[in-house]
Structure 1
Amino acid sequence: MRTSRTRPRRHRRTTVLAGLTAAAIALAGAFTVATTGPARGDVPAAPGWNLAWSDDFNGASGALPSSANWQIDTGHGYPGGPGNWGTGEIQNYTASPDNLSLDGNGNLRITPLRDGAGNWTSGRIETRRADFKAPAGGTLRIEGRIQMPNVTGNAALGYWPAFWALGSPYRGNYWNWPGIGEFDIMENVNGINSVWGVLHCGVNPGGPCNETTGLGNSRACPGAGCQSAFHTYRFEWDRSVTPNALRWYVDDQLFHSVTESRLGAATWADMTNHAGYFLLLNLAVGGAFPNALGGSTPTAETVPGRPMLVDYVGVWTRGGSGTTDPPTDPPTGTSTLVLRSGGALGAAQSAASSVTVASAGGGNYDGTPHSPQTFTATGVTRAYDGGSTQFDVFADSGTTIANGQQVKVSYDRTGDGTWDRTETYQYFATDPVPGYEHYTQAKGLKASTGSHGNLVGGTVKVEIWNAIGNGPGTVGVGNQSFVRIPFG
C-alpha cells in the first residue's frame, strides 16, 4: 500500500478476468473451504502444511483485535512517511471500536464511517510479526477468509478493502517502496464483484513491476459475489521450484502468478533477501485505485457503515528448512539492528515481546537518559556510508497522559569505551490511547556530539527513556523496533 515520494501507487489495472482454464484451476491444490456463511470458529486445518501463525478473531463483541498479534495504525500516515498513506486515501484511521472491533461471532469488523461534516474514519491493523517468509527450499502460504463490504453500485464508490503484506524494511523507513516488496493478496474497489491480486517491486515509476500499477490480475469471485459472501484469499511464495514463484488464489482457484525469471535476480533479491513480511488488513476510503475506476470518490451517494468482515488469517509453511532463513547476530550485510529482548541489538527474533520504560516521575529529563532501557551491539566492523541514523521504536504509554519517550543513539568506533558520536532525538509525546505508535527519527535531532567514522570492532548503543510524564511506557522488542545505522 506504499508509494514513492511523489506518486500514489494503487492505480491498478482494470481488466476483470471472466474465468480460468481448467489447467490453471487444477494447480490450485486440494484444500477447499466453504465460501459462504458465518465465521468458522477456528482456523481450518491445511493437510500437508505447518501452521506458523494465526488469528481467528474470537472474542467479545466490541473488543479490539489481539494486541499480542496486531498493532493498530492511526491517522493519515506513518510519522515521517508519505501523507494519506501514500495512496491518496482520505479517511482517518482510528483505534475506536466503532471502526475496528470483534463482532462477537468470530469475525474482525472494519467499518468506515462518515460524520456530519463529511469526514471519513476507518480501521487498519498490521501484524506485530514482520518475519513471514518462505523457508529455504519450501513454501509460504498466507490466507484469509473475508467478506468484502456488502455494498455495490454508486453506494460503494470509494470503498477500498485490502488484505496484503509489506517487506519488513519498510518499517521505520517509509520511502523504500516498492523495492522491499508488496504482495496484495486481496484488493477490491467500488463494490465491483472482482478480486485483484498484485505484486509491487523494483523502482517507481516503471521498472520490472510496471509501477505504480504493479503486476496484477483480477477475476470475479467464484459462485456468490465478493460482496455478498465470505471467500478465501490465498497467496503462496514458493521457493521449492525453479524459478521461484508467487501465486494468488481465490477459493482455491489460481488467478495470478509471477516468477523470479520475469523480474530478474536483482529485483527478486531486493524483495526477498530480508527478514520477511508483515501482514495488513484495512478498509480505505477514496484514493488512486478507486478513483481510477470510478472518478472522484467517494461521492454524496456513497453509503457509510458497511464493514469488511475477516473470519481468520493464517500463515503456513511447507517443506524447506524452517519458517525463515536462520538469522545471524548481528545481521550480516545489513545496517538494520533490531532491539532484542535481553538488551541486545541484532537480528530479528521470531517472537514479539516488550519491555517497560520507567516513569519520569513528574521530572524533566529531556536530553538526559533517566532509568533507560539500553540495547547494545558490540564488535561491529563496517564502513561509514555518509548517511544518517534512522530508527523506528514502537512506543505505547497506554492511557497515561503527557508521557514522552526519548531515544539516544551512541557510537564507539573502536570499542574502547569512548563515545565518538552521540545523537539525542526530540522526545515523542505518546497519545493517551492504548496501542503502539511509531517513534522515528522524523521527530528531529535535539543534540549531537562528535562525528561519524568507520566502525572497527565498535559498539552501537540505543537508550530509551521517558523524558517527561508520570507513568511508565512500553516498547516493542524482538521483531518490532529497530535502528538502521549509516554503515555498509
Structure 2
Amino acid sequence: MRPRTPLRRTTAHRRTSVLAGLTALALTLAGALTVAGTGSARGDVPTTPGWNLAWSDDFDGANGSLPSSANWQIDTGHGYPGGPGNWGTGEIQNYTASPDNISLDGNGNLRITPLRDGAGNWTSGRIETRRADFKAPAGGTLRIEGRVQMPNVTGNAALGYWPAFWALGSPYRGNYWNWPGIGEFDIMENVNGLNSVWGVLHCGVNPGGPCGETTGLANSRACPGASCQSAFHTYRFEWDRSVTPEALRWYVDGQLFHSVTKSQLGAATWADMTDHAGYFLLLNLAIGGAFPNALGGSTPTAETVPGRPMLVDYVGVWTRGGGGTTDPPTDPPSGSSTLTLRSGGGLGAAQSTASSVTLASAGGANHDGTPHNPQTFTATGITRAYDGGSTQFDVFADSGTTVANGQQIRVSYDRTGDGTWERTETYHYFATDPVPGYEHYTQTKGLKSSTGSHGALVNGTVRVEIWNAIGNGPGTVGVGNQSFVHIPYG
C-alpha cells in the first residue's frame, strides 16, 4: 500500500520483521498440534449484560449460500481497484465470490475455504461489513467480538495459511493509500497453523512511527485450553473512551493479552485513527505473504494442504455507556466529513440498516454529464473550513444483468445555503457489469467537468446526484450504511 513498502496489507497481515520477541515462541509450537475439532456453532449471538447490541450476524442459512448481502460485501481479485497489488501484503490467492470459497455451512457458521487448482493457483474468500461506522460512543466503549475456529491444519501442511478477523478505518474505502494513519485493529490473526493468536494495532505513518510500522504494536499468546486450530475460541476487541487515557484491549476467551493507550501514541496519531466516521469489519483467509513468510520461509509450499476452512460462528458489535446506539441524526455529525447516502434522500451519519434506491433507465439516450431522473441526497446547515483536499466517494452500484449501463455522480456545494452552487463536480460515469452484485464506483474514475471553487461552508449545503448516464435498464445504489461521500471540509 505504501510506495516505500510494497509488501503489507491494508491490514496487519503484513510484516516482514514480525514480532521478533514472539517468533521463537511461536515456532516452537509449529507442527506440535493434532487435527481435531468438530466445528460446531453455539447457535446464537450471546447475551452480554450491560452492553447494547448494535449489530450482529449469526451466519444462519442453507449450506452453500452466500453470507447476507445486507450485512456484507464480498471482495474479489488481488486488490481493490486502484489499490496496491496482492492486497498490499504479498499474499498470492485470488479472492472469489464462489460458494466453494465463501459460504454458510448450514450449521450456523460462515466457512472460508482456500483451494488450489491443478496448476497451483490458490483461491479463497474475504468479506467486509457494509457498515463502516463502528465507533466507541463519546464517554463509552465499543466491543467487537467473533467466535472463530482457525483452519484445522498444522505443521508443514499449514505453511502459508493466514486467517484474520480485523477492522479498518472508514476513510480507507475509496482511497486505499491512506494506511496506516486511518487505523487498523487486528482482532485475531494467525499464520502457518501455529497455536497462537496475534492482536495488532496499526497507526501513524509507515515505515516507523508510534506503531513501529510495518510491524505494528502487537502481542500474541496461545489459545486457552484447546488449540486455536482444534476448537472455537472467542476473540474480542474493546475501544474504551470511558477511561483516561483512552484504551484499546484485545482478549481471547475473555483473557486480556494486549492493550494500547492513547498516551503511547500521542494526541495527533490518536485523532487521525479515531476522529472519523468509524470502522468496518473484515474476515478473510489469505495464502502466503509477508507475515507467513516471516515465520515460515517462502510460503505456501508443495506440502501446504488446501481445503481447510476458517469457521465463524458469529460476529457482533456492542456499545456500553456514552451516547447509546440509536441512529445518528441526518445532518453530518460534528467533526465528521464522511457523509453516508441515507434512505429518504439525506446525507449524514450511517443508518443501522442497509437498503437501496432505484435509478431510472437512461432509455437508450446519452445523458453523460447531465442528470436524468437522478436520485438526490442532501445535507444542509454545514459550517466548516475547507481543508485543501478533494471530494472522495464510494458508491455501491449495481445494474443486475443489464448490459452497457453507466451510472454517474455529481457533487455540488452551496457555501451559504442560498441556492447558489459555488462548486459543482461531475465525474466520469461508471460502466456496471452485467453480473448481479454491487460494485465500487469511486472518484478514481476522474472528473469529467467542474465549475467554481471550494471555500468555507457557512450554513452551507452539499448535494449528491446519481443517475444512469447511458443504457437501457434501471440500476440500484446501496444506501443506509453502504455508500458515502467524503467532503474536503474539517
TM-score by length of 1: 0.90
Aligned twin of 1:268: 270
CA contact (8 A) 1:236 1:246 kept: yes
Residues 21-75 of structure 1, C-alpha deviations (whole Å, 9 max, x = no match): xxxxxxxxxxxxxx97511121122233222211111100110001111111122
Q: 1:412 to 1:210 in 2, by over 3 A?
A: same
Mapped to 1, the partners of 2:418 and 2:323 lie a distance apart of 40
Q: Which amino acid aligns with 2:91?
A: E
Matching of residues 395-474 of structure 1 within 5 Å:
395-474=397-476
Stretches of structure 2 lacking an aligned partner (at least 5 in a row)? 9-13, 27-36
Stretches of structure 1 lacking an aligned partner (at least 5 in a row)? 20-34
Q: Residue 287 of structure 1: CA displacement?
A: 1.5
Q: Which amino acid aligns with 1:181?
A: G
Matching of residues 277-316 of structure 1 within 5 Å:
277-316=279-318
Q: How many correspondences in the alignment?
A: 471
CA contact (8 A) 2:328 2:350 kept: no
1:115 to 117, 136, 160: 117
Mapped to 2, the partners of 1:409 and 1:318 lie a distance apart of 36
Q: Residue 420 of structure 1: CA displacement?
A: 3.6
Q: 1:236 to 1:18 in 2, by over 3 A?
A: farther
Q: Residue 183 of structure 1: CA displacement?
A: 0.8
Q: 1:244 to 1:442 in 2, by over 3 A?
A: same
Range with bigger deviation, 49-58 or 381-390: 381-390
Mapped to 2, the partners of 1:138 and 1:449 lie a distance apart of 43
Residues 348-373 of structure 1, C-alpha deviations (whole Å, 9 max, x = no match): 33333221112223333222222111
For the pair 1:151 / 2:153, whether they are aligned, the reply is yes
1:252 to 240, 254, 265: 254
1:194 to 175, 190, 196: 196
Residues 103-141 of structure 1, C-alpha deviations (whole Å, 9 max, x = no match): 111110111122233222211111112222222332221
Mapped to 2, the partners of 1:177 and 1:36 lie a distance apart of 38
Aligned twin of 1:355: 357
Mapped to 2, the partners of 1:317 and 1:346 lie a distance apart of 21
Q: Residue 382 of structure 1: CA displacement?
A: 3.9
CA contact (8 A) 1:18 1:220 kept: no
For the pair 1:13 / 2:33, whether they are aligned, the reply is no
Residues 3-35 of structure 1, C-alpha deviations (whole Å, 9 max, x = no match): 43442332131506979xxxxxxxxxxxxxxx9
Mapped to 1, the partners of 2:222 and 2:418 lie a distance apart of 64
2:142 to 137, 140, 143: 140
CA contact (8 A) 1:128 1:278 kept: yes
Q: Which amino acid aligns with 1:46?
A: T
Q: Residue 262 of structure 1: CA displacement?
A: 1.5
> What RMSD in Å do the two structures reach over aligned CA positions?
2.4
**Does the residue aligned with 1:447 lie in a helix, a strand or coil?**
strand
Q: Residue 483 of structure 1: CA displacement?
A: 1.7
Range with bigger deviation, 95-104 or 222-231: 222-231
Q: Which amino acid aligns with 1:195?
A: V
**Does the residue aligned with 1:267 lie in a helix, a strand or coil?**
helix
Mapped to 2, the partners of 1:328 and 1:190 lie a distance apart of 46
Percent of paired sites with the same residue = 88
Mapped to 2, the partners of 1:73 and 1:305 lie a distance apart of 19
Mapped to 1, the partners of 2:387 and 2:278 lie a distance apart of 24
Q: Which amino acid aligns with 2:70?
A: A
For the pair 1:476 / 2:478, whether they are aligned, the reply is yes
Q: 1:115 to 1:470 in 2, by over 3 A?
A: farther
**Does the residue aligned with 2:467 lie in a helix, a strand or coil?**
strand
Q: Residue 102 of structure 1: CA displacement?
A: 0.4
CA contact (8 A) 1:16 1:220 kept: no
Q: Which amino acid aligns with 2:375?
A: Q
**Does the residue aligned with 2:146 lie in a helix, a strand or coil?**
strand
Q: 1:348 to 1:37 in 2, by over 3 A?
A: closer
Q: Residue 414 of structure 1: CA displacement?
A: 4.3
Mapped to 2, the partners of 1:413 and 1:234 lie a distance apart of 44
Q: 1:246 to 1:413 in 2, by over 3 A?
A: closer
Aligned twin of 2:337: 335
Q: Residue 84 of structure 1: CA displacement?
A: 1.9
Residues 70-112 of structure 1, C-alpha deviations (whole Å, 9 max, x = no match): 1111222222222222222222211111111001111101111
Aligned twin of 1:23: none
Q: 1:329 to 1:364 in 2, by over 3 A?
A: same
2:321 to 319, 332, 335: 319
Residues 393-427 of structure 1, C-alpha deviations (whole Å, 9 max, x = no match): 11122333332211122234444444443322222
Q: Which amino acid aligns with 2:296?
A: G
Mapped to 1, the partners of 2:276 and 2:24 lie a distance apart of 33
**Does the residue aligned with 1:169 lie in a helix, a strand or coil?**
helix
CA contact (8 A) 2:39 2:311 kept: no
Aligned twin of 1:241: 243
Q: Residue 456 of structure 1: CA displacement?
A: 4.4
Range with bigger deviation, 377-386 or 395-404: 377-386
Mapped to 1, the partners of 2:462 and 2:357 lie a distance apart of 19
CA contact (8 A) 2:23 2:295 kept: no
Mapped to 2, the partners of 1:65 and 1:434 lie a distance apart of 15
Residues 163-197 of structure 1, C-alpha deviations (whole Å, 9 max, x = no match): 01111222222222212211101001111111100
Q: Which amino acid aligns with 2:206?
A: N
Q: Residue 325 of structure 1: CA displacement?
A: 10
Q: Which amino acid aligns with 1:136?
A: A
Aligned twin of 1:28: none
Aligned twin of 2:175: 173
Range with bigger deviation, 103-112 or 435-444: 435-444
Q: Which amino acid aligns with 2:345?
A: G
CA contact (8 A) 2:102 2:111 kept: yes
Range with bigger deviation, 360-369 or 238-247: 360-369
For the pair 1:4 / 2:2, whether they are aligned, the reply is yes
CA contact (8 A) 1:396 1:435 kept: yes
Q: 1:355 to 1:221 in 2, by over 3 A?
A: same
